[in-house]
Structure 1
Amino acid sequence: MSNQPERPDVKLHAKSVFLSACFFVNLLFMPLKGYLSEVSPFASDASYDRVQIGQLTFDASEFAQYLPLLYNASTIDPGVVYFYDSQYGVDVMRSVVKDDAQGTLNPVYSILGVPYFPADLKQSWPRVLTNNSSIEPLTIIAWNITVLTAPASMSVIWVVPGNDLVDCSQATKAVSTVYYVYRPVVKILFWRLFKAFYRLCLVVWIFVLTTKHYYCHVRHLHTSLQIAPLHANSRAARYEIVVGEPTCLVLSSPWLCLMFVMDICASTEYVGQACLRVCQTENWFYFALGLLYLGRTVWSAYTTLTLLNVVLKHFNKASFFTPANTTILAMVATCAGGGVVAIQKQWPQVLDLYTTLFLPYNIAADQAEFHRITHMDIAFIMIVYLSTMGILPFAVAGCSSLWKMWVHSHTARTTRMMNSFTTILIATTRRQSSSGSLVRRLGASEISVEICTGGSVYPLFQHAPDFQAQCTISQRGGDCYVLSYDKHDRLIEVTRVTLASQIDRCMVAHPLQINEVTTAAAVGRLVVTKRDDMFSTAMFHRGLADSPWVA
């Protein structure tokens, strides 16, 4: 009979695996979320040529002549303010304005689509209404929106007398109905297929990044716990692993973030469409689609954070910035990218500021007196928009600091309640004295010599940020928890394990001295010696089979 001890049973926590899988799927299909609003990349060019408007060039003036025949009071139900015509790929908006233009506020600001109106059209709007009547030819105003002179979208408006939003029997001639149509330019099939291939490459990149640098490490942890104990004095009969999720690892790749930003820059026509959709609240489905699409601009913020990390690590200034929570940042970006656009639409001064950022060109002298701008370039305003989203982390960090100061000054009990469960998860039963005292000892300058070992690495990161590889994006989401049970199936330990790659052993002022001897434990261990409030030595003991985890 063999005297070898029985191998402990190791299982994965089912709920954590499910949640981690959800995050993984969300990451995997993130590059393809744009197709919720964009044209299918596999649709042939002929599918947009059902009628003559699909056969026209990118000139908005030709495109505009057919629109009043397609969209009018007889083809659109009363009460419909906004709808999307999927057959022709256009957004149609209707607004009712008073013919009396003697008010203090220009009625043009109440029209859906006004953010894209040229400056001369907004200034001459009262004359546009005066020129409109049932006996004169219909006035159609059209202009093109470009990006570095490349076609991006077409905008068309026309005004009809009366209120088309109500039944004809209730219509009145004291008002007029303004029709605004926005149509993103449908690029050629080759370009759409190329962009689809580009996005599929991002999907593959994310898949390789998450599997190779995270889920393979989770498998390594599972295998190591079957062979070796979590630590030398472990009494565990079985282990259960609470799996984290790899979002933080994906968002920490500067090149990947930059490629997402390039994808947004190549889809400016749909960014403009999303901005229009969040300016209306009649159709909540398309409002949500607009918010979701504009939420992709959070990649500008992630790019800023990854580049800032490189700069801070180069100059050993990691303590200048607290790692940002990417979940909070994504939520704020969704609200800021779309919600703020909707709110700002109510402020004429802000709309006028946006108008100045459009760069008009090809001003036609032979057009109507109230409209001569036929082309506007939005490259500059896209730079401003993405740059604004890029500095969003600094605004979030500032607000977070103010909030923490307010909470700390008003109540200490709330803070203790918020941290109680986290403290239980981070500290282990085995190391409660050393792990719990790690925070206390690192902050006690009166003690001259101390040795702190084990426990969570985050108190170390808080005291010496240079030791963390990522000092701008929080990596806590990738941590796993190992639950240890004795032979009576009682929980005896909760150990938080972090990826060893999160410890910077190259760029810190005092590099870690790595002990190459493999320990008997399943995970690595960090030993830090502190003398006179300064770190004198720091050694990293690798776990079994060069374990990628450290406890």
Structure 2
Amino acid sequence: MRVGPSDASLRHRVIFNRRSLCASMLMTLNLVLMPLKAYITEPFPWTPARELADCGSNFTACAPTLLAFYQAAATPVSGAYYVASDVVDIYALELPTTLSPDAFEQKAPFHMLYSDAQRDYSRSISVANSTVNSNGSVARVMFASVPALYNAAWAVRGLNTTGAYFALQRAPSTTLWLCIKLAYRVALSGYILRCIWREYFVHYKHLASSLGASGLDVAPHGSRFEILVGDPTSIILLNHFVSLAFVIDVYMSPDYFVRSLQRVEQLENIPAFALASLYLSRTVWFAYGALSCFSCVVRKKHWQDAYEDVDPSLVALAVALTAGPLTYLQVQIPLVSAVYNLLFTVFESSAVAIELAWSFLLYTTIMGSLPIAFAVGTRWQRVCARRLRHVTSRVHSLADVCDHAAFATNDLKHRWTLRWSLFSWQAWCRRRDTPTVIEHVGGSVYKLFERSRKYKRELGISQRGADCYVLFETSENELTSVRLSLLATVDMSHLPVMTVAKYAVGRIEFRSDGTAVVVQGRNASPWVM
């Protein structure tokens, strides 16, 4: 794709690699649509409302009607089953009548969400030959003292077993509230798109124009340049406002969040488990937000060398794969389950209600702390590994820069994107007669960060994926790859800056006295090689 001015004075032809541009657009689309992914589970405001029992005005008078509504939706227990629907979720299983009260309560479905009255009820029906209260026990699930859900526990005594039931239903939401959430998410999508353009893609226009007019100091005169576009994901992940906005978005839907938590606490309905795990993967923004906050603390305390930057793609993948199983595991541990239930009930005065806020905060804190633990652990593991190894270090600075410029130093997603962008079927079949990258140049910012991480503006998340590459031929079938990084990744408060308008991009030069200086390119270029 030809870009830049069509001025006849341009000495170099500049094109964009179409595949890399396509991949970057797909990643941008993924970021922009991320706020709207909640609607995989949540309804749009115009979705026809299902019939939901509402006890918002008088819970005491409404509770028997609510229980009858749930019991009518349940079917007799035969083994164990879980029914997931937009109206009500019901989990049922058979338990032996000989269980002790403590054992029965621990095995009862979703005992972690029991109110004080429901815990007393579950213990009473566990006693052999006891009379089962057919009324069951109904409770309100509050979030910041506002009803978010209703739940109910009841039992049906058989000859040798007791059928234990648990139902959970969202409190009805007004159309106005659904519209407010939709407007918030659309506005967040628009803000993300604006940030991507202003903080990332607009710089490619500058790069293409400068390359066409000035070229690179490492390229022959009249070279043809091909730009491989990078991934803007890390730019957004390190935006503190975006992370905060996503955290607020999660807290705006406690009903769907708790329903998803319930669905991953069972294995009888695997499709419901999988869809709920996907919804819970939104907690990845607590991880990114925690990394951003931790970065501020680390910089203030000068602990920059205490932990390693993490691959954002691996963080997202890890949270997506572990959100469901990790939640399920927490429920299976009696101590953890007891702590959650304590937080549900200790701040709620009513025996027929639980308060979500504090347990919600604990859960999101646990999910957010995982990448921090990984970053610190990885850093110390590497420090220990270096102490165990006795390897002769190379002093040649150009070799160090070339190491940082290589494709292999990129994030996982970026490595595969580069392979796809440069893939040639002809080269794969014939292994000859096609250009092959033989030299890597650039990456001076990473040599700077290697000297001292105080020069890195944002810590915690690797930003290598945002780098772009400029390719040009040095001879027949031979290419040189120049790695370019955004100057915005560098904390400029520690570095002197000088401008050399002769070439399109800048670089970071290291002087003989050990100091570094930023040399900017044409028109205060935002790129450095």
Query: Could you state the TM-score of these two structures normalised by the residue count of structure 2?
Result: 0.81
**Partner residue, 1:493:** 480
**Partner residue, 2:103:** 106
Q: CA deviation at 1:161?
A: 3.5
* Superposition pairs of residues 181-260 of structure 1, within 5 angstroms: 181-231=167-217, 233-234=219-220, 237-260=223-246
Check the 8 A contact 1:132/1:161 in 2, yes or no.
no
Cα 1:361–1:237 shift into 2, 3 Å: closer
**Partner residue, 1:522:** 504
Aligned mate of 1:379, from 357, 368, 376:
357
The amino acid of 1:289's aligned partner reads L
Question: Percent of aligned pairs with the same residue?
Answer: 25
**Partner residue, 2:50:** 48
Cα 1:261–1:376 shift into 2, 3 Å: same
Separation of aligned partners in 1, 2:166 and 2:318: 30
RMSD across aligned C-alpha pairs, in angstroms? 3.4
Aligned mate of 2:93, from 92, 95, 98:
95
**Partner residue, 1:125:** 122
**Partner residue, 2:83:** 83
SS of aligned partner of 1:181: strand
SS of aligned partner of 1:106: helix
**Partner residue, 1:357:** 343
* Superposition pairs of residues 130-145 of structure 1, within 5 angstroms: 138-145=134-141
Say whether 1:466 aligns with 2:454. Answer: yes
Separation of aligned partners in 2, 1:228 and 1:467: 28
Check the 8 A contact 1:280/1:342 in 2, yes or no.
yes
SS of aligned partner of 2:406: helix
Q: CA deviation at 1:550?
A: 0.7
* Superposition pairs of residues 409-424 of structure 1, within 5 angstroms: 424=406
**Partner residue, 1:293:** 279
Check the 8 A contact 1:41/1:193 in 2, yes or no.
yes
**Partner residue, 2:369:** 391
Query: Could you state the TM-score of these two structures normalised by the residue count of structure 1?
Result: 0.78
Say whether 1:152 aligns with 2:134. Answer: no
Separation of aligned partners in 2, 1:178 and 1:420: 65
Aligned mate of 2:41, from 37, 41, 57:
37
SS of aligned partner of 2:511: strand
Check the 8 A contact 1:478/1:498 in 2, yes or no.
yes
Cα 1:9–1:79 shift into 2, 3 Å: farther
Say whether 1:71 aligns with 2:57. Answer: no
**Partner residue, 1:115:** 112
Q: Deviations over 1:346-381 (max 9, x none)?
A: 2222211211111357767xxxxxxxx211111111
Separation of aligned partners in 2, 1:517 and 1:409: 41
Q: CA deviation at 1:244?
A: 1.2
Which sits farther off after the overlay, 12-21 or 180-189? Answer: 12-21
**Partner residue, 1:266:** 252
Q: CA deviation at 1:120?
A: 5.0
SS of aligned partner of 1:527: strand
**Partner residue, 1:443:** none
Separation of aligned partners in 1, 2:10 and 2:180: 56
Check the 8 A contact 1:431/1:455 in 2, yes or no.
no
Q: CA deviation at 1:175?
A: 1.4
Cα 1:136–1:378 shift into 2, 3 Å: closer
**Partner residue, 2:471:** 483
Gaps in structure 2 of 5+ consecutive residues: 1-7, 392-400, 410-435
SS of aligned partner of 2:461: coil
Check the 8 A contact 1:361/1:375 in 2, yes or no.
no
Say whether 1:279 aligns with 2:283. Answer: no
Q: Deviations over 1:383-437 (max 9, x none)?
A: 2222333333321123323554676689999xxxxx99976338999987xx7xx
Separation of aligned partners in 1, 2:202 and 2:488: 14
Separation of aligned partners in 2, 1:464 and 1:410: 22
